[in-house]
Structure 1
Amino acid sequence: MLIVSLDEKQVEITPIEYDADCPFKYNNFVYRAALTSPTIANSGASNETKQQPGCAMIPEGVTQFIVRLPNPDAEGMNTSNRVENEVAIISLASAALAHLEQKVVPSVYGWGSAAGASPQGWILQELMPGTPVDAGFRTMDLQQKKAIFAQMAEILDALQKYQLPQTITGFGGLTFDQSGNTVSATMTSVDAGPWPSYEASFQGRLKVAIAEADKSPIIRGWRNNGVRERIDAFVESGLPAQFLSLASKQDKCVVHADFTTNNMLYDPKSQRITALLDYDFACISHPSYEFFRSFNGCGGQFGGWPGDEDNDLLALQDYKLHGFPSPLPLSSNTDGVKWEDMKAWEDELERVQVQRPRTTQGIEKAADVDAVLQMIIPWRITNPDILRLQPEESTMKCRDENEEQLVKMLDHLGF
């Protein structure tokens, strides 16, 4: 804990979930800032801060805040509009979820861009109440999990149905124009975009991934064994066909892209979700993209073709598309699919009538494109921190295994 003085007030600054010995780079440094005396009306905002887009006034009597400092060294993150994107998404999510009985989106009180003279951006935001959902999720019984799933479905439904401002015209990230309007911009987790369509977003991201693979001394652009030619052929002529059957392909909405239990807080007594946090990877995309990136461990992501050897994942994908059987199957091992949880999540999505895999014709083809994207630059052989810690023998084994999976996927796609 650090104690500093600010405007005649002492501020206690405490890191949240920070380990100085962690071998991996944090995407953000998050701190709790506690004042020794509460704020008074208008004391926490200058005239300049009041005019900042995406900001709310600091309420009177507040003593604690959250300070988020995006790590400029975080792998693959674009800093030019990283803070602006997060603030803009929070503003949209707050409006989309304003009707909920429990406020779940933190207010932003001020922010600084990393695109200016200083490379360090920052966000000052509301400290939300509650306990991390993932701290108790594994030990919850099915009824308790259903209560969480029901609220998650309502949040997701509201994000999908929220009418975006007309100034947001593309797929990707967000920023603010000189008039304070929220406008389309670079997708911060990719450093590319915005794009005019969902298909174009994947095409653009695949080109970025291929360029990164070319730079890797381990992957070497997947040029061994003729794999690169097959990738190029798929991107050039196969990708457009994958989106022909995707229903409502021009639909776009707020996508959190990390909507999981570790980014939610709740009240254990009431079982009410009290916060949805961390919009660092959030973007504007097709509703299906949320299912590709979120719900891992609490409902299950919807992935691309998992290969003909993974029977549980093949079955799960089929059930998400066509409905779950009764009785539910037994998991093939103790770490396998938790079928009751998966069914409970789908039941809540159906109850609220969320746009989901079963109601999105052609989603499986888009999921296959996303799978190819992730296979081109797999984390285990591209992240500099893990490469530093992992023996070269293990790295090369991972590379060979990934190439085998990539080849199987290309075979599956007919390339």
Structure 2
Amino acid sequence: MRLSNADAEGMYQETRVQNEVAILTLASAALRHIKPNIVPRVFGWGGASQGRLGWILQDLMPGVPLDNVFSPTASLEQKTAVLRQMAAILKALQDYPLPKSIQGWGGLTFDSNGAIVSAPMPSVGAGPWSSLENSYRGRLKAALDKADKNPYLKGWRPNDIRDRVDDFIERGLSAQFSDLTSSHDRAIIHADFTSDNLLHDPATGLVTALLDYDFSTILHPAYEFFRSFSPNGGRFTGWIADSDPEGQELLELRRAKLTGKFPSPLPTPRETPNGPGVDWELAQAWENELQRINVKRPSTIQGIDKLADVDELLGSLTPWRLINTDFLRMNTDEGQRMALRRMGEEQLVAVLDHLGF
């Protein structure tokens, strides 16, 4: 029995459970050919309402976390075996034909006849939208509304940064979609498709569950690469400053993903202040598995680089460490908060400079 947390930061409670159940329904159909069954079956559910928690009664899935498979001591062969299964899952989610009742971009719910239809995106509380561009326009405005209410961000109005953001939304946003020839494509997006949300059977090596559909949505296939695959070097980022060795390495990885061609020989991983650098062998193995079965990926999505830049701007508008109330509650040092504010502004200004605004 899963109970929706009414205090979860930034979650739209009105359709949160409905969205998850609808996505579970679609994912179950898309992945029915994969054995063992990896999508939890739903036996009952109830949406949240005034004074009542939402809930889902679903399968308790077998298997153990994938931590040991992606540990530094595991062999590349072991990791590749799991990556091969992850690629097959992603391919099936991308290829599944959505019901005609789903007309928009964003979240899902059920109509009075039980059909799955478009709804607000639970992680935003806005939508659905009539196009991918409108989904980003709506989410940028929602992020600015959140920044308006934040005492540290103050809507990014100091130093005239807000004017620059508004100008980009008004004059620059549409141009970022001009090269995206597949802008009408939509797919089931898990949006947290990482090893943390996969279980496997150590005896057989088979993935036994894909879990946690809290952030799942219907968006362009590129969006999965903006939100998922981070532990195996598979996440695709927007513009990256290359002013330090860490940034230079990430930029090199971005180029490799964008072209589908990795350096030969592979670079030596760099140790960074934030921990180990890029695991180039693992990142290349993931790319190879995607190529092997022709999964839609950064190197095949024309215009994904400009779309990723918009997504980078979106993330920069609401720095998590200044927005999340739990983090702020645990970190009360005002000096540190102001330092985070300065870092956030530097990042946002750098993205705006890159976009030409």
Shorter chain as denominator, the TM-score bin is over 0.9
Residues 111 and 118 of structure 1, relative CA distance in 2, 3 Å threshold: farther
Matched, 1:124 2:57: yes
CA distance in 1, matches of 2:131, 2:52: 31
Q: Which residue of 1 aligns with 2:310?
A: 369
What is the root-mean-square deviation in Å for CA atoms of aligned residues? Answer: 1.0
Matched, 1:73 2:7: yes
State the 1:124 CA deviation.
Answer: 0.3
- Structure (1 or 2) with the larger CA radius of gyration: 1
- Match 2:301 to one of 353, 360, 374: 360
Q: What count of residue pairs does the alignment treat as equivalent?
A: 348
CA distance in 1, matches of 2:290, 2:181: 18
CA distance in 1, matches of 2:344, 2:191: 24
CA distance in 1, matches of 2:316, 2:295: 29
Q: Which residue of 1 aligns with 2:250?
A: 313
Q: Read off the aligned partner of 1:346 and give its amino acid letter.
A: E
Secondary structure in 2 matching 1:346: helix
CA distance in 2, matches of 1:262, 1:220: 35
State the 1:224 CA deviation.
Answer: 1.3
Greater RCO (CA < 8 Å, at least 6 residues apart): 2
Between the aligned residues of both structures, percent identity stands at 55
- Match 1:331 to one of 269, 273, 296: 269
CA distance in 1, matches of 2:69, 2:289: 20
Secondary structure in 2 matching 1:308: coil
Matched, 1:405 2:347: yes
Structure 2 alignment gaps of length 5 or more: none
Q: Read off the aligned partner of 1:287 and give its amino acid letter.
A: P
State the 1:99 CA deviation.
Answer: 1.1
State the 1:308 CA deviation.
Answer: 2.2
- Match 2:192 to one of 231, 244, 258: 258
State the 1:119 CA deviation.
Answer: 2.6
Secondary structure in 1 matching 2:226: helix
**Whose strand proportion is higher, 1 or 2?**
1
CA distance in 2, matches of 1:412, 1:379: 22
Matched, 1:378 2:319: yes
Per the normalisation by structure 2, the TM-score is 0.96
CA distance in 2, matches of 1:247, 1:307: 27
Q: Which residue of 1 aligns with 2:35?
A: 101
Q: Which residue of 2 aligns with 1:227?
A: 161
Q: Read off the aligned partner of 1:140 and give its amino acid letter.
A: A
Per the normalisation by structure 1, the TM-score is 0.83
Paired residues for 1:275-354 under 5 Å? 275-309=209-243, 310-322=247-259, 323-333=261-271, 335-354=276-295
Secondary structure in 2 matching 1:85: helix
CA distance in 1, matches of 2:123, 2:83: 27
**Whose helix proportion is higher, 1 or 2?**
2
Q: Which residue of 2 aligns with 1:150?
A: 84
Q: Which residue of 2 aligns with 1:54?
A: none
CA distances 1:47-105 after superposition (whole Å, capped 9, x unpaired): xxxxxxxxxxxxxxxxxxxx110101101000111111000000000000011132110
